[in-house]
Chain A
């Protein structure tokens, strides 16, 4: 018998004629005795932005790392454009990752490379047909999009946390991804820098039309950049919908979370 999640996915495919950009179906994950994800399912359509909210330690980052294949679920399936990525080898995953971008929580820039070399890294490995000058032009264009074109020769240690996230975002966009994953893009930033990053994400969304998943604690940021929100609690989806729908939710945890955010 088909589960509710399978019926939802079939309905989605029937409506759009295309498999969703990202499907997570009934995923479980434990570390030792601690169960982090307890049957999570979600669907993100092409061009849609989904925010994943929840308290610290509820498995938000683990979920995004699973979507890009950096961690494997104990059970369940993760599909990108309809292809199940669980159990694929690194090289098979690489083919799928070429169409995905990932902004790490702490940017994870290569500390021995300059800002320019960081953004050029994916191009040097996957756009070998581009000449060095074409790659340089593309890097400049990407850094211009995120407002960092004046910092080409700086090392990651010489720029602020907010600037590092901008560079990380430019690197994530280098291969024109269909799916963009953002892990806490505004964490640790002051309110002005957070708002700037939000505006940047919105601008990139409108220009690139990617499916995006944003993991955040920041309800204001989630409300600004995402059309749909998911609230995780104890490894399960506690609530799902637009911000207004979540506000009308009667679940005590949802009300508590929204009240304190």
Chain B
């Protein structure tokens, strides 16, 4: 996207009119830039899909990214899940005791963690860690001509850099969510057990009582969509960077901000979708 220098001046009638750009090209409104961004994202996505679906496949890079995005994020995601489990348990004890629904505590905790809190917290933590990492790494490669060097070496950078990272995010988010859920439930039980005696077996039996696969699989697998959003936005922002060190910083920041924002927006749509199709 070119032409960041949009100018607005007050016309005699008090109306706002766009000033011409420095290079003399037509001025662009924020709306136009917004649409351009989505248009470029669409073209980028098509290139990545086309490159990723055709050989040669970059398995070595994919496994490296699975490790980088999956294994390396595990401690952070586990810790975040555990902390949320404890907080939810302690908060729920107070409120549910007040409403006389203490017996529902395990079920409420399991439902909240697995249905919503686990997936969204995992996605936001990965968005912060992985989104910033991918955005900064690719942006740095872009401004130092390393991406051009990959292309000049007859290697498709959309296949090597973008498709592998996006696929790794898609595959790893559901697994990380399971880990986060497990940590959250475990620490939630520990927190509940400190308030009143409750065995882990009782907690699990009571928590999962009456639940089916439809209650747990769709919320877990929706995080694959979150992975797609995080990987796609971070790769796109990284590979379109301009402007040296400042550009790298902007790419890292915008990768995190935009991917977190789109994850939350996607969650709104997906929750409604799951309620309709997996009642």
Contacts and interface: CB of A to CB of B under 8 A. Distances in A.
Contacts of B141: 110
Contacts of A208: none
B24 A108 contact: no
Contacts of A76: none
A91 interface: yes
A34 B23 CA distance: 9
Task: Count chain A CB atoms within 10 A of each CB in B24, B51, B144, B152 and give the residue with the most.
Answer: B152
A121 B153 contact: yes
Contact of A104 (B47, B56, B149): B149
B179 to A, nearest CB: 27
B61 to A, nearest CB: 10
Interface string A51-78: 0000000000000010011100000000
B23 A125 contact: no
Given A111-B144, A111-B146, A97 B153 contact: yes
A21 B156 CA distance: 23
Contacts of A70: 148, 151-152
A24 B140 CA distance: 32
Contacts of B149: 102, 104, 108-110, 171
B207 to A, nearest CB: 45
A100 B153 CA distance: 8
Interface string A67-98: 01110000000000000000000110111011
Interface string B12-35: 000000000001110000000000
A128 B60 CA distance: 13
A34 B24 CA distance: 11
B202 interface: no
B146 A110 contact: yes
B146 A122 contact: no
B72 to A, nearest CB: 15
Size category of the B interface is 20 to 34
Given A32-B23, A70-B151, A108-B149, A94 B156 contact: yes
Contact of A122 (B56, B145, B154, B156): B154
A97 B152 contact: yes
Task: Count chain A CB atoms within 10 A of each CB in B47, B148, B154, B156 and give the residue with the most.
Answer: B154
Contacts of B146: 108-111
A153 B137 CA distance: 22
A102 B151 CA distance: 10
B49 interface: no
Interface in A212-235: none
Contacts of A94: 154-156
A209 interface: no
Interface in B231-259: none
B51 A108 contact: no
A108 B152 CA distance: 11
Contacts of B152: 68, 70, 97, 100, 102, 104
B226 interface: no
Given A32-B24, A32-B25, A33-B23, A90 B145 contact: no
Contacts of B144: 106, 108, 111
18 contacts: A32-B25, A90-B47, A90-B151, A90-B158, A91-B51, A94-B156, A97-B154, A100-B152, A102-B149, A104-B145, A108-B144, A108-B145, A109-B146, A109-B149, A111-B140, A125-B153, A125-B154, A125-B155
Interface of B: 2, 23-25, 47, 51, 54, 56, 140-141, 144-146, 148-156, 158
9 nearest A-B pairs in the assembled complex, by CB-CB distance: A32-B23, A97-B154, A108-B145, A108-B149, A94-B154, A102-B152, A98-B154, A122-B153, A90-B156
